[in-house]
Structure 1
Amino acid sequence: MKEDFSKLFPDDREEHTNETVLRQSQLIMLRMLKIVDYICEKNSIDYWLDSGTLLGAVRHGGFIPWDDDIDIAMPREHYERFIEIIEQELPEDLYFKCYDTTENPKHTWGNVIDTKSRIIEKGAEDHISGLYIDIFPFDSYSDNFFKRNFSEKLHKHLFIKSFLVNAPLKKPFFKGSNLPKNIVRLLSRLTIIFSILNHKKIYNLSLKSREQRINSMKNNPKTNYGYGTDILNWDKVYDSEVIYPLKKMKFEDGEFSVPNNCHSFLVTQYGGSYMTPPPEYNRYTHFNHVEPIAYNKPCVNNEEKQFVTK
């Protein structure tokens, strides 16, 4: 029986119109996270706060003040079970899409999406959607160093290197950590083998062997976890003891699952200075435009490009 989330987690976005658009968006996504957490607990599905959301929990006790999305992760088997049950569990104002269930999805990972808001994402100005939660599958990587690094992670290495070549230089060009990153990108473009690669071609080639690689990695011992073999942008691998057993941590006004060793997890992901916020010029958001309340403007794809100019 589907829960009455209007009572469990009421949608009170209209009570927060005095807040900034960013804060309104965060509160909407927080409600979404509470619903996902409830569904996962009900169905014995493991998840944990990931990436900037985990960093926000540890460093700020909630959202990073300028963050405008939520990231969570799941082991592959739990992610697949989540896909099976989520559409029947979500309230009507939320929906789920991913590569396995949606034609021409934007990502290979999953998104729970709010239907009552509208966003325009940076780099995808022709795609109008709602505020969302990213859900990343984690695969089990081999204990064998050579298999893990020269077989299982080869697709990721190629994608990251070619993406580096094709990516624009970071602005401001000569400040802080942007300077060495831009130097590396410029030097990479001088390397012929990488300059002829196109990350989109590698991405499409990788998708052709996606199912085979996922199934193969399910046979690995559960001793190393990393972003899924189809999540080509991220290349981190964590010992299972870093993630399990999961524990709870405060995030805003709730408690949610996090890795067992958040410090080790975040050091691997961000480096040892993760508790020091970056300078203001290096604080990035994901969206060009957000409407936290857009009841009469349903989410569409590629059909409202005029919205970009409004």
Structure 2
Amino acid sequence: MLSTFHSLKKWAEYEKVHYTLSDKDVHDVQKLLLLIMDDIHDVCTENNLRYVMTGGCAIGAVRHKGFIPWDDDIDICLLRKDYDRLPELINKAYPGKYTVQNINTSPDYDLNFMKIRLNGTRFVEPADNDKRNAGLFIDVFPIENVRKSRIGRLWQRFTSDGLQFICSCVRIKDKYRRMGAVIEADPELGRMLGKKKAIGTLFSFRSLRKWLLTTEKALSNCHNDKSDIIAIPAGRGHFGGEQYLRKWFMDPVLMQYEDRQYFFPKEIHKYLSHLYGNYMTIPDEADRERHTIIEYDISKYADMI
């Protein structure tokens, strides 16, 4: 119950006005995401920032030498100190080309990870607060240091996951009125959302933004850059499910991704096995996610894809 992110992936399908990406759309999105990723790669390498592609991108690199065929997103991770430098460097290298959203740069943004959005495109999801700046995006997650002692790690997990749960509940409370179509179409999900709304109401003595800032501070409060363990607490597995040996990620390696090369965790097989189990099994067609959104337009870049 910590996160409703994956449960709400079909939110747009329940809205009266929505757009389901076709196979051609997915192909076009993938091409444009690669162009965005090229810019991020260049900024990182020119400024000695270490990034790794993770999640479905890592599966795709191993299993398909590129995108999972039906996938339409890119996730990357950077060490916290590099993550914090990235927004300014992106804006300096490509002024006006991108909107970098995080809780420090965008007052309406409500997640504890970053989105780098391509201006001049539209890729609007129902959960987006700032629909004016809702272009095609790449998700960027911070890699956090983990305390050495067992008690320290337990406390770090408790505060990290606890605060993220509070943020999730307050976020649901704030958006509950917009979720009418979801609640009506999926009663079971609606009941879960109702419970989180109730919890969120209890914690609404502070604004969501203040909770997010408190959470950001808690996530990044271990400053031991040589700790044996790192975590990606803003990722799908949160702090408890996304702890890894630092040596798995450090010294990233270049791997083929479509007709490019990008950086991936050094021990990519150990990373993927930890997070997904048997990641080489291709899911049945019915289980493959197809992105449905509210608004889609990448025509400005048609001649580049």
Alignment TM-score > 0.5, same fold: yes
**Contact conserved, 1:159 with 1:233, CA < 8 A, in 2?**
no
C-alpha distance in 2, partners of 1:150/1:256?
Answer: 35
Q: CA-to-partner distance for each residue in 1:216-270, whole Å, 9 max, x for gaps?
A: 2124643211115x66862311101111121110111100000000011111211
Among all aligned residue pairs of Structure 1 and Structure 2, give the percentage whose two residues are the same amino acid.
23
TM-score (ref. length: structure 1): 0.71
Give the equivalent residue in structure 2 for 1:121: 125
CA shift for structure 1 position 20: 0.7
Instruction: Identify unmatched segments of 5+ residues in structure 1.
Output: 1-18, 174-181, 296-310
The one-letter code matched in structure 1 to 2:33 is M
The one-letter code matched in structure 2 to 1:100 is N
Give the equivalent residue in structure 1 for 2:43: 39
Give the equivalent residue in structure 1 for 2:254: 248
Give the equivalent residue in structure 2 for 1:258: 264
Which structure is higher in helix share?
2
The one-letter code matched in structure 2 to 1:102 is S
The one-letter code matched in structure 2 to 1:81 is R
C-alpha distance in 1, partners of 2:225/2:145?
Answer: 6
SS of the residue corresponding to residue 221 of structure 2 reads: helix
Q: Describe the shift of the 1:252–1:57 C-alpha distance in structure 2 as closer, same or farther (beyond 3 A).
A: same
1:209 matches 2:214: yes
Give the equivalent residue in structure 2 for 1:146: 151
Greater shift in the superposed pair: 257-266 or 281-290 = 281-290
Give the equivalent residue in structure 2 for 1:197: 199
Query: How many residues are paired up?
Result: 261
The one-letter code matched in structure 2 to 1:127 is K
Matches within 5 A, 1:4-43: 20-43=24-47
Paired residue for 1:222, among 219, 227, 234? Answer: 227
RMSD: 3.6
Q: CA-to-partner distance for each residue in 1:89-133, whole Å, 9 max, x for gaps?
A: 125433322222222224222222111321122544983511111
Q: Describe the shift of the 1:159–1:112 C-alpha distance in structure 2 as closer, same or farther (beyond 3 A).
A: closer
TM-score (ref. length: structure 2): 0.72
Greater shift in the superposed pair: 195-204 or 146-155 = 195-204
Give the equivalent residue in structure 2 for 1:275: 280
**Contact conserved, 2:160 with 2:219, CA < 8 A, in 1?**
no
**Contact conserved, 2:166 with 2:203, CA < 8 A, in 1?**
no
**Contact conserved, 2:148 with 2:227, CA < 8 A, in 1?**
no
Q: Describe the shift of the 1:188–1:130 C-alpha distance in structure 2 as closer, same or farther (beyond 3 A).
A: closer
